[in-house]
């Protein structure tokens, strides 16, 4: 009996989707995860509880969006995922509806440099302009905000993080939520002191040095 197309990749998509729920980055069936393998992408389906997902439920699509395997329709946010692969060379994409990141998006156009962890994402993380979910306009807005970065925030919506693996993308999404929570907490007490661009550059170089070890 032949194994399902991208069986291991689909299983990893399910694992990360369930972590999003466990860590409170999504509620219900919100958010989505995808993983690219060559010209194919495994992506969470639309409207299915993550705790009951099976490998067969996870659709596999081509980079043009055409479904090649799977019993369910792909996530409504498939345009964002495919745009991240086409425009930014991503290998994996994680989209959350994180509470604190979404709250920050109502107040700011970026995530300020409250912590050196931003350097790992390429610098100050941008907030993409709002557009209706599932639309090409949202995908375009996300792509603009993601340029040169490992993550972005979607206004009135959530976050998108990319990485070399779903685990790497997920770690960025989780760190981004923490950074947004940190800023929201600090600004309640006053005006947070921020790191400057030179320090972020030094931290980025240090992150690169650690990654090469």
Which residues does the annotation mark as catalytic? 77
Q: How many CB atoms lie within 10 A of CB 67?
A: 14
**Whole-number Å distance between alpha carbons of 74 and 31:** 12
3-state secondary structure the chain: CCCCCCHHHHHHHHHHHHHHHHCCCCCCCCCEEEEEECCEEEECECCCCHHHCCHHHCCEEECCCCEEECCCCECCCHHHHHHHHHHHCCCEEEEECCHHHHHHHCCCCEECCCCHHHHHHCCCEEEECCCCCCCHHHHHHHHHHHCCCCEEEECCCEEEEEECCHHHHHHHHHHHHHHHHHHHHHHCCCCCCCCCHHHHHHHHHHHHHHHHC
Q: Which two tokens stand for residue 131?
A: 């557009």
């Amino acid at each position: 009996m032949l194994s399902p197309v991208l069986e291991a990749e689909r299983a990893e998509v399910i694992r990360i989707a369930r972590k999003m729920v466990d860590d409170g980055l999504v509620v219900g069936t919100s958010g989505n995860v995808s993983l690219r393998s060559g010209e194919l992408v495994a992506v969470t389906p639309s409207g299915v509880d993550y705790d009951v997902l099976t490998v067969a439920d996870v659709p596999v699509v081509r980079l043009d969006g055409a479904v090649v395997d799977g019993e369910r329709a792909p996530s409504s946010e498939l345009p964002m995922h495919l745009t991240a692969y086409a425009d930014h060379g991503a290998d994996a994409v994680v989209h959350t509806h994180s509470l604190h990141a979404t709250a920050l998006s109502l107040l700011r156009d970026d995530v300020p440099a409250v912590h050196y962890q931003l350097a790992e994402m390429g610098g100050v993380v941008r907030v993409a302009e709002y557009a209706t979910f599932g639309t090409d306009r949202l995908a375009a807005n996300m792509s603009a905000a993601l340029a040169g970065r490992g993550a972005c925030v979607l206004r009135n919506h959530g976050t998108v993080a990319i990485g070399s693996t779903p685990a790497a993308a997920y770690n960025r999404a989780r760190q981004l939520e923490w950074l947004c929570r940190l800023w929201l907490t600090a600004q309640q007490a006053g005006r947070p002191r921020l790191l400057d661009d030179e320090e972020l550059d030094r931290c980025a170089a240090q992150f690169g040095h650690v990654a090469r070890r």
